[in-house]
Structure 1
Amino acid sequence: MSTTRTDSQDPGAPEGAGVLETRLIDIGREEFARDVWGRTALLTRGTGDFSDLFSAEAVDELISRRGLRTPFLRVAKDGSTFPDSSFTSPAGVGATISDQLDDTALWRRFADGATLVLQALHRTWAPVSDFSTRLSTELGHPVQANAYITPPQNRGFDDHYDVHDVFVLQIAGTKRWIIHEPVHPDPLRDQPWTDRSSAVAEAAKGKACLDTVLEPGDALYLPRGWLHAAQAQGEVSIHLTLGVHSWTRYALAEQLAQAALALLGDDPEMRRTLPLGVDGPSGEIDTVRERLAAAVAEADSTSLFHRTRRAQGRPAPLGPLAQIAAVEGLGPGSGVRLRGALEARLEDSRLTTRVGWLDFPETDLPSVTRLLDGAVYTADDLGVELVGRLLRAGVLVPVEQ
């Protein structure tokens, strides 16, 4: 049985209070975890200026100059989503890709009252990407980011619920949010609101548990399943939604069942063919139940959990030119640190990360363990040969001294 020596921390994570406490809520982390997380909505007024994360200028930059393609943008109005073909087109000579955003078509849709949804900003806008990574590290759950840009007095979507928790950050303008309690608490990923559209519509007619207008600097937390609808007020509204894809006990059960089934695949009795002419499971189900229960008791899904978790995110950006320069210029005084958001784990002599795994001799393990704290080291601190190997693998990145 392997033993985990240490888990890495995100090298970009702050010491002490993180972005959750300093930028999203005005209560302590422990109180949030105990009384709010996954339980109820939380409105926080005036948490600060979010313009360092996103802005109107960022919207125009992304739409008009970055060559974005679908599905990095959706367009919606009054609960209906427009087909991609209505706001995309080829990009001309040298970039004849048919699904690039057409800024003129988008302008016309927006001027006619449509909401623009910039999706996956954790992939396309560096400040949002860095913030999402830090928040994900603090929460222990994957985080995605979308921006919603809505013309005055319009709404993009009808009352609905999400299958992930959200933090809403009001960037510019104002937006009225009407919140109702869940009709289906804690929905799973395959339990969307459209499966319960009648119940959602009926609940939305009742008294709201929160009816408020968000202003720039306000933040709103909603657990998955909470009904909401939002409408821009007298000016263009921009808000950023950070979606938290929470791990659940159900997900752990799925992984445990998968590990148990793998064990049963090695059981000759479970591989045996059922009797000829069998017309139902009744004669076999007790045996299967007994062996399945034994396999569940024996199964260890820990490695599957960490493998799945690594697959749900991406490591911090790595510049290939800076990386090759670091490799070629490597010397005893070269500064390096662990690449951010690697989900690095050292188990026995194997380091597993989001960019692959590496085995090490016993003599290297103390240095590998040290670098997992995310601190800056010189190549001489860890060993020049080891640092060179980890730079080439994309596990370490150069740091200016």
Structure 2
Amino acid sequence: MSSASTDFQDPGAVKSAGVLETRLIDIARERFAGEVWGRTALLSRGVSDFSDVFSAGAVDELVSRRGLRTPFLRVAKGGSTLPESSFTSPAGVGATIPDQLDDTALWRKFADGATLVLQALHRTWDPVAGFTSRLSSELGHPVQANAYITPPQNRGFDDHYDVHDVFVLQIEGTKRWIIHEPVHVDPLRSQPWTDHRSEVAEAAQGQAYIDTVLEPGDVLYLPRGWLHAAQAQGEVSIHLTLGVHNWTRHALAEQLAQAALAALCEDPVMRGSLPLGVDGPEEELAVIRERLAAAVLQADTTSAFQRSRRGQARPAPLGPVAQLAAVQGLGPGSLVRLRDALEARLEGSRLSTRVGWLDFPATDLPSVERLLDGGEHLANDLGIELVERLLRAGVLLPAGN
């Protein structure tokens, strides 16, 4: 059996590839990748109807019926975020959690001009979760989703930049966006806009790179670092922001350095104490640099990178009741499939996923490799015992779930 690794990311997304090109941009994917991605802003008009992803009805349901808690919602007005205590309260008998959303308080603040920010919708609203999962698989970077609901003629936040790329999807209403070029190109997550507050304020007074009103179906792409501010026009504006948490060379350098330092723990010379009475490290630095450089050259960060990728998102939902029924009703004719968004990777005899790893005997490896195609398979074709093991591990789901 070959020990070559097999990568697989979100089989459902691979089959229906094209979220980026068919719903978010009005140019070819290849041109976006070569000329736009991480380089410049892009405005695409009327590229898609997003009513299947999010809507005003979704906002009302999430706020009033889902029992959401902070930090799944923020409230902002006049450039400032309001204290959580001003829009949360206990939920009554049997649900006395003190920080659940208070829909009455939220209504009053919204009516007074505050923007509601529904955060992490990729965890709380299924259509958004599916959309972001497919986009993440296409981009190769984790994606999150927030919704911004702004009353007419109001704005939630002043000019600022984000430390991740964004796709802004206008859902309902209209909103004027004013975009300026970066004052700090490609900021890392440790370099927020507040570190450059004065430069941001000064740049925001200059000529805009883009000054436009987004209408439903429009999409705006902004690389991290690009300055932006937005104001609703004559009606309630709802837009969805897809935040792309970019993998950077700096992040890979951090992993490489960590792997090298871990290896140097086994080097007796590096564990040794500095000489007695040493005034400074200068005379030791040559040896340290030499051994650190050698450790960096030998370090293998592939496994660390894959673990980090798997840890930055969650697999597709798994219903415990349906899963138990699948295990108990398992038979030769049962149809099963690999769980979506597992980041499954077979290396030798080990399958690593977002829900853990499993080792297999050589006789099972052909069936495991077949599962990585993302299709549906008969339990009898794979082996009943193997399928039961993978169902119990949360790696397989019954087909149709």
TM over 0.5, shorter chain: yes
> For residues 16 and 319 of structure 1, what CA distance do their matches in structure 2 show?
23
Alignment RMSD: 1.1
**2:385 corresponds to 1:368:** no
Tell me the SS of whatever aligns to 1:13. helix
> For residues 231 and 251 of structure 1, what CA distance do their matches in structure 2 show?
34
Tell me the SS of whatever aligns to 1:308. helix
Map of 2:115 onto structure 1: 115
**TM-score, scaled to structure 2:** 0.98
**2:125 corresponds to 1:125:** yes
1:183 maps to a residue whose letter is V
CA 1:309–1:17 in structure 2 vs 1: closer, same or farther (change >3 Å)? closer
How many residues align? The count is 400
Map of 2:249 onto structure 1: 249
CA 1:3–1:178 in structure 2 vs 1: closer, same or farther (change >3 Å)? farther
CA 1:106–1:57 in structure 2 vs 1: closer, same or farther (change >3 Å)? same
Map of 1:85 onto structure 2: 85
1:164 to partner: Cα distance: 0.2
Map of 2:287 onto structure 1: 287
1:159 maps to a residue whose letter is D
1:279 to partner: Cα distance: 2.6
**2:181 corresponds to 1:175:** no
> For residues 400 and 215 of structure 2, what CA distance do their matches in structure 1 show?
40
**2:268 corresponds to 1:268:** yes
Map of 1:204 onto structure 2: 204
Q: Does the CA contact (< 8 Å) of 1:43 and 1:221 recur in 2?
A: yes
Map of 2:103 onto structure 1: 103
1:329 to partner: Cα distance: 0.3
Map of 2:55 onto structure 1: 55
Q: Deviations over 1:121-140 (max 9, x none)?
A: 00000000010000000000
> For residues 299 and 57 of structure 1, what CA distance do their matches in structure 2 show?
51
Tell me the SS of whatever aligns to 1:178. strand
After TM superposition, list the pairs within 5 Å mapping 1:326-365 onto structure 2. Answer: 326-365=326-365
Tell me the SS of whatever aligns to 1:179. strand
1:348 maps to a residue whose letter is G
Q: Does the CA contact (< 8 Å) of 1:4 and 1:345 recur in 2?
A: no
1:395 maps to a residue whose letter is V
Question: Which segment is superposed worse, 170-179 or 26-35?
Answer: 26-35
2:193 maps to a residue whose letter is W
1:27 to partner: Cα distance: 1.1
1:396 maps to a residue whose letter is L
**2:13 corresponds to 1:9:** no
**2:152 corresponds to 1:152:** yes
Q: Deviations over 1:48-93 (max 9, x none)?
A: 2101110000000000000000000000011100000000000010
Tell me the SS of whatever aligns to 1:346. strand
Identity within the alignment, %: 80
Listed as ranges, the gaps of 5+ residues in structure 2 are: none
**TM-score, scaled to structure 1:** 0.98
Q: Deviations over 1:168-206 (max 9, x none)?
A: 000000000000000000000000000000000000000
Tell me the SS of whatever aligns to 1:171. strand
Tell me the SS of whatever aligns to 1:12. helix
Q: Deviations over 1:209-257 (max 9, x none)?
A: 1000000000010000000000000000000000000000000000000
> For residues 400 and 62 of structure 1, what CA distance do their matches in structure 2 show?
26
Map of 2:315 onto structure 1: 315
Tell me the SS of whatever aligns to 2:282. coil
1:380 maps to a residue whose letter is N
> For residues 119 and 7 of structure 1, what CA distance do their matches in structure 2 show?
31
1:15 to partner: Cα distance: 3.6
Map of 1:383 onto structure 2: 383
> For residues 24 and 379 of structure 2, what CA distance do their matches in structure 1 show?
38
**2:299 corresponds to 1:299:** yes
1:383 maps to a residue whose letter is G
> For residues 4 and 190 of structure 1, what CA distance do their matches in structure 2 show?
37
Tell me the SS of whatever aligns to 2:398. strand
Map of 1:225 onto structure 2: 225
Q: Deviations over 1:366-388 (max 9, x none)?
A: 00011011011010121111001
Map of 1:20 onto structure 2: 20
> For residues 20 and 277 of structure 2, what CA distance do their matches in structure 1 show?
61
Map of 1:74 onto structure 2: 74
1:78 maps to a residue whose letter is G
> For residues 79 and 265 of structure 1, what CA distance do their matches in structure 2 show?
48
1:147 maps to a residue whose letter is A
